[in-house]
Amino acid sequence: MKTQLAELWSLRRNDVVPALSAAAAEGDRSENAEYIYRKKQLGEIDRNIRYITKRLEVMKVVDQAPSNRNKIYFGARIELLNEQGTQHSYRIVGPDETDAAKGYISMDSPMAKALLGRQPGDVVRVQLPQGRVELEVMGVSYSVTPA
């Protein structure tokens, strides 16, 4: 998020401000499509900057595994087996880190909530968009570096 904030400030905002100034200098702003577009673009960038700045103030980096590494807590990498015998791997992360392609699920998701506090051998039932599923916890691990 710090990288994203720096990019918004140094690259995107620095590109938009001069373009907005140039469009404003062209005259009548009410019918100037370039001015309207750049003003909207700058508003979106500033909104993103405010959001990320506020999130960074309250975020806490979890850089160590819990004392009981057999249970599922925030940051856990979980191996699950579904009813069809297919194995899936997920990691429980914060809402800002969610990435389905990497298997990162938000700690606020129904699946993560059902898994928290469980351990290998436990079976959980989770209501997902495609219906209710039963999953067996096959393994839990933690890495010492944040996601």
What pLDDT, on a 0 to 100 scale, did the predictor assign at position 140?
95
Q: Which of 139, 63, 62 is nearest to 107 (CA)?
A: 62
The C-alpha atoms of residue 24 and residue 36 are separated, in whole angstroms, by: 9
Domain with CATH 3.10.50.30 in the chain: 77-141
Does the structural domain 77-141 have CATH classification 3.40.50.720? no
The residues near 71 (Cβ < 8 Å, ≥ 6 apart) are: 117, 118, 119, 140
- Taking the domain 2-58, which CATH number applies? 1.10.287.180
* Amino acid making up residue 89: S
Percent of the chain with pLDDT strictly greater than 70: 93
pLDDT tens, residue by residue, 8-59: 988 899 999 999 999 888 878 888 899 999 999 999 999 999 998 988 887 7
Tell me phi and psi for residue 37, to 5 degrees. -65, -50
Domain with CATH 1.10.287.180 in the chain: 2-58
pTM (2 d.p.): 0.61
Average pLDDT of the residues of the chain: 88
The C-alpha atoms of residue 54 and residue 63 are separated, in whole angstroms, by: 21
pLDDT: which is higher, 43 or 70:
43
> In which band, very low, low, confident or very high, does the pLDDT at 147 lie, cut at 50, 70 and 90?
very low
